[in-house]
Chains A and B, each alone.
Chain A
Amino acid sequence: MWHVGKVIALHGETATARTITLDVADWPGHVAGQHVDVRLTAPDGYSAVRSYSIASGPNSEGRVELTVERLSNGEVSPYLTQELAVGERLELRGPIGGWFVWRTHQTEPIQLIAGGSGIVPLMAMIRARASAGSAAPFRLLYSVREPAAVFYRDELQALTDNDEGVSLTYAYTRAAPKDWPQPPGRIDAALIANATLPSNLVPTCYVCGTTSCVESAAGLLIGSGHNPDKIRTERFGPTGDRK
């Protein structure tokens, strides 16, 4: 299960997050939504393992992209976002996961809800949809602290401009852009009612973010009539305060 990926590109997404593009020898391929475990080893043998969702859609070139947010007291993320250089190598275990995945043969409407860096596996799904030429309707509700925290903004803009099958609503929790119609705040029942696919369309919903964000959003979806069996979730750890 362990593979070695060589860093072939690095791209800043925000002031604290960057996308790492890896060329992974013998990569068996992956499905959108899966993740990898990254292992770092210090010269004295000390090692640390962390999970990161794969940002890239399925491809046949062994290309795996990870978008990593630097946590202020993280142990691994500062290394991945600041030290790791092009040409260096990373150990990855994976691809991992068979539940929180979107497969290109799925045709039903899809509701995606992202909290912060929870956008990463959902972006893999959006990219998979695009490269497969799928017509499945996708709606994304993407909640972030503030506009500067958005990942993949230009790509999301281009997709939603050019493809009627993908629509996107941003929600800002701390600071919204000037003239934004809503004051900043967490996702609530009104936003679910106005900006997500209604339950009578029986979409499959994918919700990803911190545990508290996921519990809240999933609860709101259920409250608006979605069957819990149609909601798939992936919880990331809390941002920044893993002691």
Chain B
Amino acid sequence: MAIISKGFSGRRTAGDEKLPPGQYITPDFPVLSAGPTPHVPLDQWEFTIDDGASVLRRWDWKSFLDLPTETFTVDIHCVTRWSKFGTAWEGVSLDTLFADVKTDASYALVHSYGGYTTNLPLEDLLNKQAWIAFKYENEDLAPEHGGPARLLVPHLYLWKSAKWVHGITLMNQDKPGFWERLGYHNYGDPWREQRYWGD
């Protein structure tokens, strides 16, 4: 049985309507990373959609910024239990990026500069549920938070919102990503508290 530390409450704040189970609200924006922050010069950056055999769509930074963007405010939930409400972003909707992509694939493997991967059903990336975000709180997205651009899929735990996003590979069969291979839930719905395998 744990010793209770008298007077210790951690960093959390009260006021927790709309919190998924097991989460607490944080005023900070913790930086969690599995590796060094990649530094991608904008003149080399690209975002691709491929099907494993060929590249279907490709944007460089300039053509990416020429796309219509949206500003949006969402709550984000990390599997390490912190949630942050009302985060404001600007990004390109995945619906825009997939507008001319014809595919039968049901699954997506998102991959990042630096090697990180995460998987999710393609339908969770579409229908106004996901963006490639490049601004946070009206400023260019900082490298430690995934800049120049990251995926944002707020309806799933934040490990699915791959930082330093590089591209998406479409797949007919699901393939687990970096954390999904090592105990983390394949889907990751915070409202059903799907943190780990078997949840």
Contacts and interface: CB of A to CB of B under 8 A. Distances in A.
Instruction: Tell whether any CB of A sits under 8 Å from a CB of B in the complex.
Output: yes
Given A46-B24, A243-B30, A243-B31, A89 B8 contact: no
Contact of A88 (B6, B10, B24, B144): B6
A75 B29 contact: no
B12 A46 contact: yes
B3 A46 contact: no
B5 A42 contact: yes
B169 to A, nearest CB: 31
B9 interface: yes
Nearest to B32: A243
A59 to B, nearest CB: 23
Given A39-B2, A40-B5, A46 B29 contact: no
A152 interface: no
Interface size range of chain B in the complex: 10 to 19
B192 interface: no
B22 to A, nearest CB: 10
Interface string B1-23: 01111111111100000000000
Interface size range of chain A in the complex: 20 to 34
B31 A41 contact: no
Given A46-B12, A46-B24, A83 B29 contact: no
B3 A4 contact: yes
A90 B10 contact: no
Contacts of B29: 243
A41 B12 contact: no
Contacts of B7: 79, 83-84
Closest 3 CB pairs of A and B: A40-B5, A41-B2, A83-B7
